[in-house]
Structure formats: C-alpha cells, structure tokens
Amino acid sequence: MFAKKLSIILGLLALAGGPTLAQKRPAVKAPAKKMAGVPAALLAPGKSVYTQYCLTCHMADGLGVDGMNPPLAKTDYVLGDKTRLTNVLLNGLQGVEIGGEQYHGVMPAQASLTDAQIAAVLTYVRNSFGNKASVVTVGEVKAVRAGNKK
C-alpha cells in the first residue's frame, strides 16, 4: 500500500516538475571552438605578456583609447608588416595616425622583453580581437633586433 502511494506521489511530482527534474543529466556542452590557424596553446604565452604589459593602454578588447592609444583590432599596422610592428615594441612609438585618426599617447620601448616574449605577444595580437594573421617567430624578432643595433 505504502509503495503504491509513494509511486503515485513521485509520479505527480514528475508531472509537476518537482525534485525529479534535478535528476536529469546536465546538458552536454559543445566542444570549445578551435581558433583557425594558430593553436590556442601557442597564443597563451602571448596573452600573458599582453595582460602584463599591453592591456592597460590597449584595453581588454584591443580597441585602445580614442586619441591616445591606437586600436590593435583589424588595423593594417597590426596585420601588415611584421618588421614595422616588431620595431614598435622594441623602440616604442609616439604620435601615429591609424585609420585616419591621430593617436598622441606615448608607447614606451619594450626592448627589455625577450625575443620569445615579443614573438608571443605579437602573434597573440595578430590573432586576437578579430585579427587573423601569420605568427611572428623568435627568429624574425632576433633579426629585427640585430638590425636595430647596426
């Protein structure tokens, strides 16, 4: 008798959306999307460098600050010549026009970063914020740094 009543109560709870709903399996999450081209594992070190040295001025979304710090998202400056971009990190930059807008902020030279850190952060920037571009290698950074010493 008790079992029959219990069965009826559990059935009513199920119809009413009671505690038995908590017994459902959690929804299966879709696998994380892989970044096209550059593996996420390659971007992680660059993201770390970006967070430590670049985020304050260029912001978490890479859009910079109007009139002060230029955007890193979808600009020829970032997506174009890797040597020019590497030189910006090594030598700093003040006063630049990007996309018809002047930016007056001063970017200090980051020459104290290792070649690997510079390659990593540039690869990260060139493949974040909607950007899709080739990686910057440690060898390319070394060559630019050596060219600056001449």
Q: What is the pLDDT of residue 150?
A: 73
What is the C-alpha separation between 39 and 62, in angstroms, rounded?
A: 20
pTM for the predicted model, two decimal places:
0.75
Q: Which two tokens stand for residue 59?
A: 């912001």
* Intervals of the chain under pLDDT 50: 6, 10-35
In this structure, how many other beta carbons lie within 10 angstroms of the beta carbon of residue 89?
27
Token look-up 């219990």 returns: 6
Q: Which amino acid is at 42?
A: L
Q: What is the pLDDT of residue 3?
A: 52
What percentage of residues in the chain have a pLDDT greater than 70?
76
- Contacts of residue 90, Cβ cutoff 8 Å, sequence gap at least 6: 109, 110, 111, 118, 144, 145, 148
Q: Rounded to whole angstroms, what are the CA distances from 3 to 7, 9, 10, 22, 141?
A: 6, 10, 10, 22, 76
Structural domains of the chain, ranges and CATH numbers in brackets? 38-148 (1.10.760.10)
Give residue-wise pLDDT tens across range 84-116: 999 999 999 999 999 899 999 999 999 999 999
